[in-house]
Amino acid sequence: MNAPAPVQGRWSKVEFYASYFLMVVLASVILTRLGFAEVWSVPRLDIVLGVIALVLMVASVWIARRRRGLRLLIVGYAAATQLLPMTFRHPEILLPLIGALIPVVIAIWALVALSRKDLHERRTPGS
C-alpha cells in the first residue's frame, strides 16, 4: 500500500515544467516591455530583439518540445535580450542584478542536486 512511486522521469518532468514556466514568465516580461514601447521610448534594437525572442519562445513549444538544449538556449537568448541592453545603457542596475543572481544560483544548484539524486536512484533501485 505504501509502495514508493516510480523514480524514472522525475528529473525530466521537473526540468520540463521549470523551463516552460520560465519561458512563460519571460514571454510575459517581453510582452509587457513591448507593450510599453508605445508609452515610453524604447530603442529600436530592443524592440527587434524582443520580437525575435518572443517569436522564438512561442515557436519553441513546437520546435524544442523534445530538445532540452534548444529550449534552454532559447530561454538564455530571451533573458540576454532583456538584460544586456539595459545593463549597457544603465550600468548602475548591475548591482541589483548581481543580488538577484543569488536566488537563481540557489535554484540551479537545487535542480542539479535533484538530477544527481535521480541518477543515483536509477542506478540503485530498491533504495
* Position 9 confidence tier, pLDDT thresholds 50, 70, 90: low
Using CA atoms, how far apart are residues 71 and 64, in angstroms rounded to an integer?
5
Per the confidence metrics, is the pTM higher than 0.85? no
pLDDT score for 125:
61
22-36 as b/e: b if 16+ CB within 10 A = bbeebbebbeebbee
Neighbours of 104 (CB within 10 A): 10
Grid coordinates representing 100? Answer: 538577484
48-97 per-position pLDDT tens digit: 999 999 998 888 888 877 777 788 788 888 888 888 888 999 999 999 98
